[in-house]
Amino acid sequence: MKNVVVVGSQWGDEGKGKIVDWLSSEADVIVRFQGGHNAGHTLVIDGVVYKLRLLPSGIVRKNKISIIGNGVVVDPWALLDEIDEIKSKNVEVNSKNLILSEAATLILPFHKEMDEIREDSAGKSKIGTTRRGIGPAYEDKIGRRSIRVMDLASENNLDKRLDVVLNHHNAIRKGLGKTEFKKEKLKKDLLNIAPQILQFSQPVWKKIDELKSQNKKILFEGAQGVLLDVDHGTYPFVTSSNTVASSAATGSGCGINSINYVLGITKAYTTRVGEGPFPTELTDEIGDLLGTRGKEFGTVTSRKRRCGWFDGVLVRQTLKISGIDGIALTKLDVLDELDEIKMCIAYEINGKKFDYLPASVDDQFMVKPIYNSFKGWKSSTVGIKKFEELPENAKNYIKELEKFVETRISSISTSPERNDTILIQDPFNI
């Protein structure tokens, strides 16, 4: 029995939804351990499209337990809306198959407003957030003033906690010339939905320990990608949580010894949403082609993703930082029509060569990529399920990619459909 952590090895949007759904057929438990409803996973099962934001991907499968860990920040209204949406597609959601950590921090309306205020006032320095209150909620968590799921169980405690957090936020709002946020309506609204939220609430660390003792296979599902990690990403153009694999332990309370295998979802090219450095970005017709063929629009925001060549330097770096054991290579079929395909193998900054991305954002914006070029295969790879059946040039590209990033490719995705996957190594059975 192995427990597997799935993380994105780039800037997110690598196709984790399909891979997690594919793996969840073998897992017993699926755990979300960080992020919020700013990150979306799109699943396509038997022609039905499911767009998930907070709910773990396993929720669409029968006889699976889905867990939202303490490391996730939860907009309670968004969660209830998502549950209603998924139920409308004949998916059962109840307290037996969905568990929400009692220690998870809540995203409240003033968090979203603060997100919007900051982005609107930042001008050219804006981060490119999804404006859903994720960052401000994490700030309150670290500042020890957040409202957590458990606080909904006591009106007296909720009242006190709201005083603490609004004292902080209203001081900032006043300084920015904004009206103060009133407590009473928010308190009433929270108490109104408290029973619906609390029915899913449990001490997640205890539940996971129980499931481990039963030898259940646990799949830990990350949001975004390692390059958006608040410590290891392209700071300050990052998210507000740690997106690396080790966060699965912190964000669920399972203990680091619970992790047996780390799978890095890696797109065969590169995309990024929002602001920030992007060394291999293509603003020409090839970039447009990748965006069109790859349907590169955000699940949550519908924002168009920036597209570029595969950046081997960055992926090699994130694989080492996150301790990734194997790669699930996705969207290979998007490259099918190209005459030439490039891979970034080094950087140049002011005439100096680098084999990694420097931490300074100024340096990151000055990076010039150095490429290796490969011949395209000019034929369809859609639906291929055996490596031997891939075009020769596609096999050459994959082998060189694997060699450069120094990590084994465990699977290759050849379409959005979950069964269109070349399985080389099963993470649960190694």
As annotated, the active-site residues are 13, 41
Beta bridge partners, 341, equal 374
Structure tokens at 49: 């499209």
Amino acid in the structure at residue 60: V
112-142 burial, b at 16+ Cβ within 10 Å, e below that, comes to: bbbbebbbeeeeeeebebbbbbbbbbbebbe
Structure tokens at 106: 């809540």
Interatomic CA distance for residues 188 and 375, integer angstroms: 62
How do strand 421-423 and strand 408-413 relate by DSSP bridges?
A: antiparallel
Interatomic CA distance for residues 51 and 78, integer angstroms: 13
333 and 366 in contact (C-beta within 8 Å)?
A: no
Minimal CA–CA distance to 103: which of 190, 173, 16, 205? 205
35-66 burial, b at 16+ Cβ within 10 Å, e below that, comes to: bbbbbbbbbeeeeeebebbbbbbbbbbeebbb
